[in-house]
Amino acid sequence: MLDTTRLAYYFPTLSFSFEHDIRTRLQRLHLRARSTFISLQDMSHYPCTSNDIPPILIEPFILRGYRSLNQPWSYYWKSLFHKHNETINVWSHLIGILYIGHLLYYYNQRLKFYENSHSWPFAVSLCTAIIMFMCSVFAHLLHSKSETVHKTCFAIDYIGVSLHGFGSGFLHIYYSAPQWYYDKIEYQYVFILLLLGMLACLSNCFAQYYFCPPYPPLKRICQFLPCGILWIYSVIPLIIGLFPLNFPLDSCSMCHLGQIILFIIGGILFAFDLPQRFCPGALDFIGQGHHLFHLCVYLITLCQMHGVYWDYEKNQKIIDQRSKPHLIFCAGSMICLMLWNIIIVCYFRRYLREKHHVHKK
């Protein structure tokens, strides 16, 4: 218990009780959170259920809150400010864009991106994170217009996932990898990252366009396996730097370990449709696995950027002695991956149009 008498002795001008003030503030915070939650649950929502839309648009164990198909584009843009089963998905990553924009400014003040070429991999990774969040917002907000738009939107989302996986690996190898590992695999590592990024986008687009509801387990294998391989490869520098674990962990090691644990938790929730699998319909608007996965992605990005920045501060003398990375190599590799992914998406879009045309005949 806090000894307010002793505090009053040393600070006699304090005219309020700390205990009372903290208790009051917590009660107000609880009431506001409860009011917000109740308001969200009671807010008018889109009336479509899983019985009213095509199977391709149905999320497993999500029964309500779907938006109508074939509405004007303004209908979907305005849904940003209404309650449906994608509201949390959209806003969680919109907030992510704002947060990464803040980090871009914050780290530019410390690393001087324009002047310090050793900070360019950091800037590239921040840019890929922003693109990933933007692609996700675009996909979750607009995909309900039609089956074709749904496939296109999530193909664009896969571009963002691929880019962020590449940007994460690029960040880890340059700032967090032990020097011996960096010397051994620097350029090969980035080249393999590019290939794995393209494979992740290609495999997800293939699964999205090739398989039809009811989806076989092979669809999820095609989607998650390449992304899992890309993630594992991107965190190898962190794992090498972490183990053997020496407790107590320093701040950057805690961030790296937290990033890995959060990704595993988020991936399990997303892949196995948890927790809505155990209570279908109860978590349609808030609390479903995809919402929690987005929260994990947000926290992963936070841990990643802060942990790597502390690695850079700790190893700055070693990093500054390396050959300076070329801007063309840093930005060019990101742009190269983006262009190849756009070509992949366009190819599958063309395949979908031709398939649709054949069915019409």
- Tell me the DSSP string of 297-323: HHHHHHHHHHHHHHHHHHTHHHHHTSP
Q: Which pLDDT score is estimated for 329?
A: 81
Q: Which residue has the tokens 């806090």?
A: 2
pLDDT computed for residue 2 by the predictor: 45
Answer yes or no: do 271 and 296 share one domain. Answer: yes
Q: What is the pLDDT of residue 6?
A: 45
pLDDT at 330: 84
Written as six digits, the tokens of 97 are 């864009």
* Residue 15 structural domain: 4-42
> Do 12 and 149 have their domain in common?
no
Domains held by the chain: number: 2
Together in a domain, 110 and 8 = no
| Same domain for 52 and 30 | no
Q: 86: helix, coil or strand?
A: coil
Peptide bond connecting 55 to the previous residue in cis, omega within 30 degrees of 0:
no
27 shares its domain with 105? no
Q: What is the pLDDT of residue 7?
A: 42
The C-alpha atoms of residue 264 and residue 237 are separated, in whole angstroms, by 17
pLDDT, position 257: 93
Strand partners, 45: 83
What secondary structure does DSSP assign to 255-290, as a single string?
A: HHHHHHHHHHHHHHHHHTTTTGGGSTTTTSSSS-HH
Residue 146 confidence (pLDDT) = 93
Alpha carbon of residue 148 to chain centroid: 24
Same domain for 21 and 61, yes or no, is: no
Residues 351 and 238 reside in one and the same domain: yes
Co-location of 116 and 229 in the same domain: yes
**Per-residue model confidence as pLDDT tens for the chain (361 residues):** 444 444 444 444 444 444 456 667 767 776 776 665 555 555 556 778 999 999 999 999 999 999 999 999 999 999 998 889 999 999 999 999 999 999 999 999 999 998 888 999 999 999 999 999 999 999 999 999 999 999 999 999 999 999 999 999 989 999 999 888 988 887 789 899 999 999 999 999 999 888 888 888 899 999 999 999 999 999 999 999 888 777 788 888 899 999 999 999 999 999 999 999 999 999 999 999 999 999 999 999 999 999 999 999 998 889 888 888 887 888 889 999 999 999 999 998 887 676 655 555 5
Does 140 carry a binding-site annotation? yes
pLDDT value, residue 207:
92
Q: What is the pLDDT, as a whole number, of residue 245?
A: 76
Measured CA to CA, the distance from residue 299 to residue 295 in angstroms comes to: 6
What CATH number is attached to the domain comprising 262?
A: 1.20.1070
Whether 13 and 95 share a structural domain: no
State residue 259's pLDDT score.
Answer: 95
Looking at the structure, do residues 181 and 216 belong to the same domain, yes or no?
yes
Same domain, 84 and 145: yes
Task: Give the global pTM.
Answer: 0.84
**So what's the pLDDT on residue 39?**
54
* 74 burial via Cβ count (<10 Å: 0-12, 13-18, 19+): exposed
The residues, any chain, with a CB within 8 Å of residue 110's CB and separated by 6 or more, are 309
177-199: burial string, b at 16+ Cβ within 10 Å, e else:
beeebbeebbeebbeebbebbbb
| 36 lies in the same domain as 102 | no
